[in-house]
A and B are shown apart, each in its own frame.
Chain A
Amino acid sequence: MEEFLEYTYEKFIFKVKTGYWYSHADFWASIVNSVALIGVSDFLQKAKGDVAFLETISPPTTVNRGQEIGKIETIKATFDIISPVTGTIVEVNPEIETSPYLINEAPYGSGWLYKIELLDFEGDKAELLNDRAYFEVMKKKVLEEARKLYGEKK
């Protein structure tokens, strides 16, 4: 199985890691047994820019799917970290506290945000997208972002 699904728009290559689950808010969850690692999708980190500041919440904290669990600030925008799953935050990635640029450099790998012990993944799954479904959603979002940037100019 290919490691990434890739969509190229102009010079930008947007990647979706296969085998992960995705929320409509562009956060991913990688599930191993009953634990999820979560992070920012490649599309979202590209759209928002270089991460300068990060606000995270400390474990242990119970969170619901869709809940705000921190903030990321780039020079372009401040946006919420939205949990794609329900459970208990048991760890914050220690590397991103000192090196937040990992979120940009390796959004699906060393740039992970939280480790969450899952409470109801079957319930979460019903609201999440698999890699191929998110890939289609992401492509539309890329085009929408491009329209916003270029407007109606010819």
Chain B
Amino acid sequence: MEKKSKKVVVLPCSGIGKVFGALARETTYELVERVRPDSAVTTCLAKLVIGDAETKQLVKENPVITIDGCPKECARKSAESQGVNVARSFQTIDFYKAHKDMKPEGISELDETGRKLAAIAADELGQVVDEVAIEEEKK
């Protein structure tokens, strides 16, 4: 299949107060570095909010998914407040709920269990990236 030049932009919250923020960040890295390095990219949420031109162009031209840590949904809300039509949104607390035996720890850096959970979450989200990319192709 011919690859489109568009990428799926993955925006994590990277919340610094809770382990779920760290999980969102690590999941994003797993997604863009390992699971879908050719079709997914990330950028900084705050760059979008301060009006960085390059970032605004990126989210305008490419579909966006947000990965939040918790139901406060800071990434989704901030992206939408900047006019982004978020294609899909996720919360890492839901990945923890689905894998209750894997309790992540660490906020500045996840522990081993947290990294494993992030890897699992990213594996699941790989499919979402594909779906979003296909939807974008059809537009």
Chain B residues positioned under 8 Å from A104 (CB to CB): 71
Let me know if A60 is at the binding interface, CB within 8 A: no
In the complex, whether B103 has a CB less than 8 A from a CB of chain A is yes
Which of B71, B103, B104 is within 8 Å of A50, CB to CB? B71
Instruction: For the complex, count residues of A whose C-beta is within 8 A of B.
Output: 8
Q: Is there a chain B Cβ closer than 8 Å to A101's Cβ?
A: yes
Please state if B96 and A75 are interface contacts (CB–CB under 8 Å): yes
- CB proximity to A under 8 Å, residues B50-103: 70-71, 93, 96-97, 100, 103
How many chain B residues touch the partner (CB < 8 A)?
A: 11
Contact (A49, B18) CB under 8 Å given A101-B71, A104-B71: yes
Question: What total of A-B pairs shows CB separation below 8 Å?
Answer: 23
A133 at the interface (CB under 8 A from B): no
A131 interfacial by beta-carbon distance below 8 Å: no
Interface positions, chain A 25-71, Cβ under 8 Å from B, are 49-50, 52-53
For B97, the chain A residues whose CB sits under 8 A away are 52-53
- Whether, in the assembled complex, B19 has its beta carbon less than 8 Å from a beta carbon of chain A, the answer is yes
Q: Which residues from 78 to 135 on chain B have a C-beta closer than 8 Å to any C-beta of chain A?
A: 93, 96-97, 100, 103-104
CA distance A33 to B26 in the complex (A): 51
Q: Closest CB-CB distance, A78 to chain B, in whole Å?
A: 11
Interface residues of B in 1-54 (CB under 8 A from A): 18-20
Shortest Cβ gap from B106 to chain A (Å): 12
Q: A101-B71, A105-B71 are in contact. Are A50 and B20 (CB under 8 A)?
A: yes
B136 CB to closest chain A CB (Å) equals 30
A75 touches B71 (CB 8 A): no
Contact A50 B100 (CB under 8 A): no
Decide: A101 and B70 in contact? CB cutoff 8 A. Answer: yes
Residue with the highest number of chain B CB atoms closer than 10 Å, among A49, A52, A105: A52
Specify which chain B residues have a CB less than 8 angstroms from the CB of A75 in the assembled complex: 19-20, 93, 96, 103-104
A binding-site residues for B, Cβ under 8 Å: 49-50, 52-53, 75, 101, 104-105
Interface residues of B (CB under 8 A from A): 18-20, 70-71, 93, 96-97, 100, 103-104
Other CB < 8 Å A-B pairs besides A75-B20, A75-B93, 13 of them? A49-B18, A50-B20, A50-B70, A50-B71, A50-B93, A52-B96, A52-B97, A75-B19, A75-B103, A75-B104, A101-B70, A101-B93, A105-B71
Write 20 A-B pairs (CB below 8 A) sorted by A numbering: A49-B18, A50-B18, A50-B20, A50-B70, A50-B71, A52-B93, A52-B96, A52-B100, A53-B97, A53-B100, A75-B19, A75-B20, A75-B96, A75-B103, A75-B104, A101-B70, A101-B71, A101-B93, A104-B71, A105-B71
